[in-house]
Structure 1
Amino acid sequence: MITAASKDHPAWQRGFASEVPAAAVAERTALLKLDNISKIFGGVKALQAVKFDVMPGEVLCLAGENGCGKSTLIKVISGVYQPEADAVMLLDGQSIEGLDPAKARDLGIQVIWQDLALFPEMTVAENIAFEQNLGSRPRLVNYGRMKAAARRILERLGVDIDLERSVRSLSIAQRQIVAIARALVADARLVFMDEPTASLSHAETRALLAIVRRLSADGIAVVFVSHRLAEVLDVCTRVTVLRDGQYVGTFPTAGMTQTRLTELMTGRTFDYAVRTTDFSAAPVVLQVEGLTRPREYEEVSFCIRKGEIVGLTGRLGAGRTELALSLFGMSRPSAGATSLDGARLSLRSNREAIRAGIAYVSEDRLQLGLVQPQSIGDNTVAAVLDDLLGPARLIDPGKRGALIQDWVKKLAIKIGKPEDAVSTLSGGNQQRVVLAKWLATNPKLLILDSPTVGVDVGARAGIFDIIHQLAARGMAILLISDEIPEVYFNSDRILHMRNGRIVAQYVPSATTMDQIEGDVHA
């Protein structure tokens, strides 16, 4: 955990919010009001006497760490789960009972889950008007009416997407819009959005938040679930906090800070400070000189010293990931030189990079970082199988078990059994498994590409604690993130990349975070 206070607190960290709901909100009639919502699974209380309300046209945040009960509550509201006895659920002041998903949709309750649940091979129009064509009897699809409905909704959102394009060909941001449009076609009055901006750039996020505000202005209530607390405080008027399945409270966002909201979510205090160690005399581990790959990055030069954390930030598309992939041997630069501990590198594959002492944690944990159907143990040892071979060139179960147990203990990974599928873990624990997989290779250089995507605030602190410990032991670390607070409070130096070039370098102890944010988002 970061323990000292920063000398320069930016706007997102100053002041505390009043923790009494605004009187104006209290006087209004809730669109949806819940009380005494409990849900028990096999003796485990996933929700315990939770309260919840949302007003017509309100943008409300539902906040809490992974496993706090957010998804369970949403599934109760959307009819997937039935609450325990004595639960109170009111819509427009009228009791609703026996809720199921179909009835919830009929009442105007829509959920846009993080995976969006779209049909990739179908067109935009077909996805938007999909539910309109469901029925008990087969019938011909009226494509003209389908396109007209889809076009009308997209115009209402103020966006233009080719209705004939397949959803597979769309960007993540466009897919989000299609999912929202589908909810509106179904006459949504209340829309839950689960991590809608997790994979979006800042520009795409601003566009999506503008759409959220448009929905609010049209009287549609939006419940926003996000680990990006700056967005929550920007777009929401109130925030309802859950912790360990229990209701903490509902608070106005006016005057609320990310620090205070984090404390409410976790029950812990987080004090932020910049890193101040001078590494100028430390040995150089990674030296990059004039590295170029056409249309991806150009004339990139920098170094990382032993024990140093260098942050790399910039807008999406700046070339950060492309550079990381070249450093890891996944793509070859056309010009320039890279050295590790003074030895010139000419990597032709990621296997050569691993043997040289480079590890890479991808930003796409689900697709590239882990094999989801496989076990926690298999994922942990995936990069070091050769080291586990016995005399018969078969994997030695004793070596394998000892290695898994060692890294689970070192990184404090919360698991049931090593044989459990890695998909059963929370986002934070999955990310620790990814770290364990690469740390088992004993790297000299660790490249972390957006290591906290989809990870809640409490788990983020734990991951950064691990990163700081690795640096303290002498590991050189490249930390890539488009979240400025992450690189500001966790890097010794920060590189700003734009249009494939390094355009600026900052030392956090000598620079304000507001200045870096202004430069990056200019």
Structure 2
Amino acid sequence: MFPAASKDRLAPERGNTTSDMPVAVDTGRAALLKLENITKIFGGVKALQAVKFDVMPGEVLCLAGENGCGKSTLIKVISGVYQPESGAVMLMDGQSIEGLEPAKARDLGIQVIWQDLALFPEMTVAENIAFERNLGPRPRLVNYGQMKVAARRILERLGVAIDLGRSVRSLSIAQRQIVAVARALVADARLVFMDEPTASLSHAETKALLTIVRRLSVDGIAVVFVSHRLAEVLDVCTRVTVLCDGQYVGTFPTAGMTQTRLTELMTGRTFDYAVRTTDLSAAPVVLKVEGLSRRNEYDAVSFCVKKGEILGVTGRLGAGRTELALSLFGMTRPGAGAVSLDGKKLSLGSNRDAIRAGIAYVSEDRLQLGLVQQQSIGDNTVAAVLDDLLDATRLIAPGKRDALSRDWVQKLAVKIGKPQDAVSTLSGGNQQRIVLAKWLATNPKLLILDSPTVGVDVGARAGIFAIIHKLAEQGVAILLISDEIPEVYFNADRILHMRNGRMVAEYVPGTTTIDQIERDVHA
């Protein structure tokens, strides 16, 4: 029903288009960090096998590969969390660093900023930035004055201003990223690993963060950038080291590299980019939105989605896209306007009303809102249709539950161990497939997808969009929300541009260039 994807429709070709594959390069310079023959085995499975890695002082290097390729394992070896198997060679400034532990790694200037940032939300900006200055074998009084001085000095070095007395909980994701970078610098970092630093950032916030990365490079601090956003990788990095299935593919210059070529190196597959050409002239309207408004969120929004159509909605962060989606799913009530589904006016008092009407919603935050991480894969898959699984005693029938879960795992080709395993054990791409399965089990007429590929690697994205295209072919109306313009350009039949709560433009991919849409959105 849902075949594995063979085409990637995420991004346009950028850069040169030479036919020869790029060759790995040797800079000839003395490396800040150099690794050889790094192998790591977990329970007989080789997570890393004879991997090579090096980074130069002040270099911005990309570490690329699909989820599960070994990137995180390699970073944990370098930061002393894991010990490699015997035979590994690890050199810092040409000196062996055998028996590396986290504390020793920090002393050497190796810092890791993980995707979850590992900040203390109730503590202030200053406390988060400078707390390591108060760590030691013995407790001591905290000098808040010195802490603020150190934090202010680092933020000035980065060229940003954040209130030092604010709690981290009150900051935006972009500001928290800056706090995490500042904390690394206070610890005298010489090598900083940044794991998916832009996954939750808008275009403008991403641009500001990349400016900071370049500033670190100028100051002689090496940065290893891990990102699924390949355009950013090619923009900010000078070289890229590629891993595939735990093995070293090579290290390549980004000059002349394209997103397509890099994707092929990461996945070992060839991808094709093409806009959709679906004839929807005779298709009936499934969703009709007329003059929908909600104070301070969106205003006078009108559009329609036809049966089998994928309608893209893009715009800057804060444009009101998610707020609109929440109202269409019954989570918030609009102040004015009307919504119709299959020609019938809707009055949604809750998300349960929306589900009963035939609307499904995949949230942009699958970790907090899309899945219950501690619960099993099977339980997450059937979470939206529990009423359909009740037996005569009004209890969930295990046989029905297991059969439905097994059916959707098979249909969406989800790679799992056992249905009883926690959903948190899955990769990002497979977690997103479970989110899709949960809502597809409700048999929706309208599927709202809010940033469905956040934190998902390029190969897994292709599989997810293959599923979405198949759903559209089967007649599901799809509202695809994304601030990744290439994502909507190569996957939507039409694109709406939302700005400051209003729909300001409509585009048809193929008749409008992607560059024109990007200029309009980021103007």
Rounded Cα–Cα distance in structure 1 between residues aligned with 2:81 and 2:252? 27
SS of 1:147's partner is helix
Gap change, CA 1:58 and 1:498, over 3 Å in 2? same
Rounded Cα–Cα distance in structure 1 between residues aligned with 2:12 and 2:473? 26
**Equivalence for 2:23:** 20
Gap change, CA 1:9 and 1:424, over 3 Å in 2? closer
| CA deviation after TM superposition for structure 1 residue 19, in Å | 2.2
**Equivalence for 2:36:** 35
Rounded Cα–Cα distance in structure 2 between residues aligned with 1:178 and 1:55? 25
Gap change, CA 1:97 and 1:221, over 3 Å in 2? same
Match runs of 1:115-514 below 5 Å: 115-514=116-515
Letter in 1 for 2:423: V
CA deviation string 1:308-334 (max 9, x = no partner): 100010010111001100100111111
Rounded Cα–Cα distance in structure 1 between residues aligned with 2:366 and 2:12? 32
SS of 1:175's partner is helix
CA contact (8 A) 1:286 1:339 kept: yes
Rounded Cα–Cα distance in structure 1 between residues aligned with 2:12 and 2:110? 40
CA contact (8 A) 2:38 2:48 kept: yes
| CA deviation after TM superposition for structure 1 residue 521, in Å | 1.0
After superposing on structure 2, the runs of 4+ consecutive aligned residues of structure 1 that deviate more than 2 Å are: 1-6, 8-22
| CA deviation after TM superposition for structure 1 residue 27, in Å | 2.2
| CA deviation after TM superposition for structure 1 residue 11, in Å | 3.5
**Equivalence for 2:54:** 53
CA contact (8 A) 2:448 2:478 kept: yes
| CA deviation after TM superposition for structure 1 residue 26, in Å | 1.6
SS of 1:230's partner is helix
CA contact (8 A) 1:243 1:265 kept: yes
CA contact (8 A) 2:8 2:462 kept: no
SS of 2:433's partner is helix
Letter in 1 for 2:23: V
Rounded Cα–Cα distance in structure 2 between residues aligned with 1:28 and 1:321? 48
| CA deviation after TM superposition for structure 1 residue 277, in Å | 1.2
CA contact (8 A) 2:317 2:483 kept: yes
Gap change, CA 1:235 and 1:485, over 3 Å in 2? same
| CA deviation after TM superposition for structure 1 residue 9, in Å | 5.7
SS of 1:129's partner is helix
CA deviation string 1:23-42 (max 9, x = no partner): xx622110000010000011
Letter in 2 for 1:474: G
Gap change, CA 1:124 and 1:473, over 3 Å in 2? same
Gap change, CA 1:282 and 1:424, over 3 Å in 2? same
Rounded Cα–Cα distance in structure 1 between residues aligned with 2:12 and 2:229? 18
> What are the ranges of 5 or more consecutive residues in structure 2 without an aligned counterpart?
none
Rounded Cα–Cα distance in structure 1 between residues aligned with 2:207 and 2:273? 26
Rounded Cα–Cα distance in structure 2 between residues aligned with 1:58 and 1:325? 43
SS of 2:382's partner is helix
| CA deviation after TM superposition for structure 1 residue 94, in Å | 1.1
Gap change, CA 1:504 and 1:10, over 3 Å in 2? farther
Gap change, CA 1:3 and 1:166, over 3 Å in 2? closer
Equivalent pairs, count: 519
| CA deviation after TM superposition for structure 1 residue 5, in Å | 9.8
Gap change, CA 1:509 and 1:57, over 3 Å in 2? same
CA contact (8 A) 1:16 1:256 kept: no
CA deviation string 1:215-268 (max 9, x = no partner): 000000000000111111110000000000000000001111111111110111
| CA deviation after TM superposition for structure 1 residue 16, in Å | 6.2
Gap change, CA 1:183 and 1:17, over 3 Å in 2? farther
Rounded Cα–Cα distance in structure 2 between residues aligned with 1:371 and 1:276? 37
Rounded Cα–Cα distance in structure 2 between residues aligned with 1:263 and 1:108? 34
Match runs of 1:70-81 below 5 Å: 70-81=71-82
Q: Which moved more, 1:129-138 or 1:241-250?
A: 129-138
CA contact (8 A) 2:14 2:259 kept: no
| CA deviation after TM superposition for structure 1 residue 281, in Å | 1.7
CA contact (8 A) 1:310 1:479 kept: yes
Gap change, CA 1:103 and 1:417, over 3 Å in 2? same
Gap change, CA 1:4 and 1:79, over 3 Å in 2? closer
CA contact (8 A) 1:18 1:252 kept: no
CA deviation string 1:152-199 (max 9, x = no partner): 111110111111111111111111111111110110000000000111
| CA deviation after TM superposition for structure 1 residue 21, in Å | 4.6
SS of 2:429's partner is helix
Rounded Cα–Cα distance in structure 2 between residues aligned with 1:67 and 1:56? 28
CA deviation string 1:57-90 (max 9, x = no partner): 0000000000000000000000001111111111
**Equivalence for 2:110:** 109
Percent identical among aligned pairs is 84
CA contact (8 A) 1:18 1:251 kept: no
**Equivalence for 1:62:** 63
**TM-score, length-scaled by structure 2:** 0.97
CA contact (8 A) 1:17 1:257 kept: no
SS of 1:438's partner is helix
CA contact (8 A) 2:15 2:256 kept: no
| CA deviation after TM superposition for structure 1 residue 393, in Å | 0.6
CA deviation string 1:339-367 (max 9, x = no partner): 00001001110000000000000000000
Letter in 2 for 1:377: G
Cα root mean square deviation, aligned: 1.5
**Equivalence for 1:99:** 100
| CA deviation after TM superposition for structure 1 residue 278, in Å | 2.2
CA contact (8 A) 1:375 1:418 kept: yes
Letter in 1 for 2:299: E
CA contact (8 A) 1:12 1:230 kept: no
SS of 1:355's partner is helix
Rounded Cα–Cα distance in structure 1 between residues aligned with 2:437 and 2:202? 28
Rounded Cα–Cα distance in structure 1 between residues aligned with 2:47 and 2:20? 28
Rounded Cα–Cα distance in structure 1 between residues aligned with 2:232 and 2:104? 31
Gap change, CA 1:13 and 1:458, over 3 Å in 2? farther
Rounded Cα–Cα distance in structure 1 between residues aligned with 2:8 and 2:44? 41
SS of 1:287's partner is strand
| CA deviation after TM superposition for structure 1 residue 15, in Å | 4.7
Gap change, CA 1:399 and 1:321, over 3 Å in 2? same
| CA deviation after TM superposition for structure 1 residue 3, in Å | 4.8
Gap change, CA 1:5 and 1:110, over 3 Å in 2? closer
Rounded Cα–Cα distance in structure 2 between residues aligned with 1:191 and 1:425? 27
Rounded Cα–Cα distance in structure 2 between residues aligned with 1:134 and 1:216? 28
Gap change, CA 1:5 and 1:146, over 3 Å in 2? closer
Gap change, CA 1:466 and 1:4, over 3 Å in 2? closer
SS of 2:205's partner is helix
> What are the ranges of 5 or more consecutive residues in structure 1 without an aligned counterpart?
none
| CA deviation after TM superposition for structure 1 residue 56, in Å | 0.3
